[in-house]
Amino acid sequence: MNLQSTIDLDIKGFYRWWLKELAFLVPKKVKQLVSDRTGSLIFTADNGGFTVCFLREDNPQHKVFDVKVDDNVAYQKLLNQYTDIDKADFILRLGDAQAMAKFLYLPEAALENLQQVVGFELDRYTPFKREQVYYTAISLGKTGFGQIQVLLVLTPQVILDDLLAQLNAWGVQPARIEYASIQSAYPDTEGTYNLLPERYQPNTNPLEKSVHWLLNTVLIVLLVAVMVYPVWQEQLAVDFLKAQIKSLEKDTRQVDQQQLEIDALRDETQKLISIKTQTPQLVPVLNELTHLLKNDTWLSNLQYSEKHMQITGQSPSASSLIGLLEASPYFSKVSFVSPLTQDKVTGFERFQISMEVSYEQEPKVEPANSGAAVEQSKSLPLPENQP
């Protein structure tokens, strides 16, 4: 198959299959309301008589009876015994002695007017002329070589007219004539063809036929509605849920954005808290430094940056300051930045000390008697003779 291939749709075949499937789904009581058909009464020609078989509508696989009937009297007894067969479809099945079948291969163009094409060439395919037989042509599909396979079924008019006359004498008017061998070999062809000539087909009341089709149409519409309505309702529910999900997704995105902003603020706050907790408070550090330095020691410069402090000043004994500062829990890595020198005016030693500030807790509270020293050390006064 390629892009140039044509797709053949058997609309009639699909319609028959669809109706059959729908009919299978219809409850028995509903079928009885729509149609009073009870089943199929099949007549098969058998040596001057007929073998009669009855199949009920609700169980077509089970034969209610299958008996040989030779005359009208026997048939009337059968009618009296089974009163519901009067409303059955009458079908006449022909045997191999009354009908024949043959396969034909025709061009695809013949499919549009298959019956006429076969009728014009009937004397080439069979030993009969068109006026001598009743025939029908059944398309079995394309062969793939630009041809179609056709099943030709025919019966001589003399034989069929005689059988129909006998049935009419019994009050039986068949609605369909079939070939038994075709039914067994090709069961899919059942109901797709009819050998009954037009002049023998029963006359139907147009009003009755219209009502019948109307009821069938209403039934089909109701069945379709029963199948489609729940799906439509489910689709509406799905669309409603999708709309809700879309709205919730929008709200969720807003919440996620706010959560990201909150997390960013929390991280920044945590960084500030970490910096604050890791950096000693200068007031306790200066207080500790005031307690450690004696009254004869004074500072001329103090620098602090990132836990590093550097002090410059004078003291009578600057070398002892290293031990004092190292003993404090506030300071570590105490060392002189430059060598000690002696001031010629004051006689004190000049010092420049570097140290790390590492203590993070509140300093110890000194006893009350040290208050004078604290008060005196707050201002860190210069000596009177200092220029």
Q: What is the pLDDT of residues 166-191, one digit of tens each?
A: 888 888 889 889 888 887 777 777 77
- As a whole number, the mean pLDDT across the chain is 80
Query: Helix (H, G, I), strand (E, B), or coil: what is residue 63?
Result: strand
Percent of the chain with pLDDT over 70: 80
Q: pTM of the predicted model, to two decimals?
A: 0.48
- Residue 262's pLDDT is what? 93
H or E stretch at 320: none
Query: Tell me: the pLDDT tens digits for 247-273?
Result: 888 888 889 899 999 999 999 888 888
- Residue 157's pLDDT is what? 92
Give the burial class of 315: count Cβ atoms within 10 A of its Cβ; 0-12 exposed, 13-18 middle, 19 or more buried. buried
CB 382 within 8 A of CB 298: yes
Measured CA to CA, the distance from residue 340 to residue 353 in angstroms comes to 10
pLDDT tens for the chain, 387 residues: list them: 444 545 555 555 566 666 666 666 666 655 555 556 678 888 988 877 888 898 887 777 778 888 888 888 888 888 888 887 878 888 898 988 889 999 999 998 888 888 898 988 888 888 899 899 999 998 888 887 888 989 999 999 999 999 999 888 888 889 889 888 887 777 777 777 888 888 877 666 667 667 777 877 887 888 788 888 888 888 899 999 998 898 888 888 889 899 999 999 999 888 888 777 666 677 888 888 888 888 888 888 999 887 888 999 998 888 888 888 888 888 888 899 888 888 888 888 889 999 998 765 544 444 444 444 434 444 444 444 443
CB 39 within 8 A of CB 55: yes
Structure tokens that stand for 62 in this block: 């089970």
Query: Helix (H, G, I), strand (E, B), or coil: what is residue 77?
Result: helix
Structure tokens that stand for 387 in this block: 């220029």
Q: For the chain, give the number of residues.
A: 387
The interaxial angle of helices 11-25 and 206-278, nearest 10 deg, is 80
